[in-house]
Structure 1
Amino acid sequence: MSEEGPGVTIIDCEGSAGDPHRGFYFHSGEHSTWVLHGFTIRNGYWYLTNWDRYGGGIFCSGSSPIIEGNVITGNTANVGGGIAGRYASSPTIRGNTITGNHADFRGGGGIYWYFYC
C-alpha cells in the first residue's frame, strides 16, 4: 500500500521485447488481506509465446487480492495488457484508472479474465 498515492509512487517496469517485465504477479494464493493500493503501474511488457503471456501490468493466477486506487497505464501483453487473471482468481478490482494498455492475441487491452475465474 502506497501512502503517497499513484501521482507519486510509480512502478515503471521499463519492459520491452528484449527485456520483458510486468508490474505485479500474484500466484501464491494471495487473498483479500493483500491490498495493492495507490500506485501507478506503467510500461509493463509481457509478450511471450509460451503459456505465460498474460498481464503486462498485473497478473493474478490462483489468487484474489484487492486491487484499488491505482493508475494502470501503458502496459502491453499478448493477453490482458493492463490486468489479466486465470485459474481460480477472483480479485476485487475497484476505483482504478485503467487506460492506454494494449493486447494483441485474445484481447483485453484493459482487463482480461480466463479459466475458472
Structure 2
Amino acid sequence: MSEEGPGVTIIDCEGSAGDPHRGFYFHSGEHSTWVLHGFTIRNGYSYLTNWDRYGGGIFCSGSSPIIEGNVITGNTANVGGGIAGRYASSPTIRGNTITGNHADFRGGGGIYWYFYC
C-alpha cells in the first residue's frame, strides 16, 4: 500500500519491445490479504510469446489480490494491456483509473480475463 497515493507513488516500468517489463505479476496464490493500493503503474510492456504476452501493467495467475485505488495507464501487451488474468484468479478490482492501455492480439486494452477465472 502506498501512503502518498497514485499522484506521488509512481511505478514506471520503462518497458519496451527490446526490454519488456510489467508492473506486477501475482502468481504465488496471493489472496485478499494482499492489497495493491495507491500506485500509478505505467509504461509496462509484455509483448512476447506464451504467457509473457499477458498483462502489461498487472498479470494475475492463480491469485486473487485486491487491486484498488490505482492509476493503470500507458501499458502495452498482446492481451490485456492494463490488467490480465488466468487460471483460477479472482481478484477484487475496484476504484482504479484504467486508461490509455493497449492490446493487439485478443483485445482487452484495459482488462482481459482468460481461462477458469
- Same fold flag (TM > 0.5): yes
- In the alignment, the residues of structure 2 paired with residue 51 and residue 70 of structure 1 have an alpha-carbon distance, to the nearest angstrom, of 24
1:9-55 superposed Cα distances (whole Å, 9 cap, x missing partner): 00000000000000000000000000000000000000002332100
SS in 2 for 1:6: coil
Percentage of identical aligned residues: 99
What runs of 5+ residues in structure 2 fail to find an aligned partner? none
Q: Deviations over 1:39-87 (max 9, x none)?
A: 0000000000233210000000000000000000000000000000000
Distance 1:68 1:3 in 2: 14
CA distance in structure 2 between the partners assigned to 1:51 and 1:108 by the alignment: 15
Q: Which TM-score applies when normalising by structure 2?
A: 0.99
Q: Determine the C-alpha separation between the residues in 1 that align with 2:51 and 2:22.
A: 15
- Which stretches of structure 1, 4 residues or more, deviate above 6 A after TM superposition? none
| Root-mean-square deviation over aligned CA pairs | 0.5
Structure-1 separation of matches of 2:18 and 2:70: 27
Equivalent position of 2:96 in the other structure: 96
Aligned to 2:17, what secondary structure does the other structure show?
coil
Equivalenced residue count is 117
TM-score calculated relative to the size of structure 1: 0.99
Name structure 1 gaps, 5 residues minimum. none
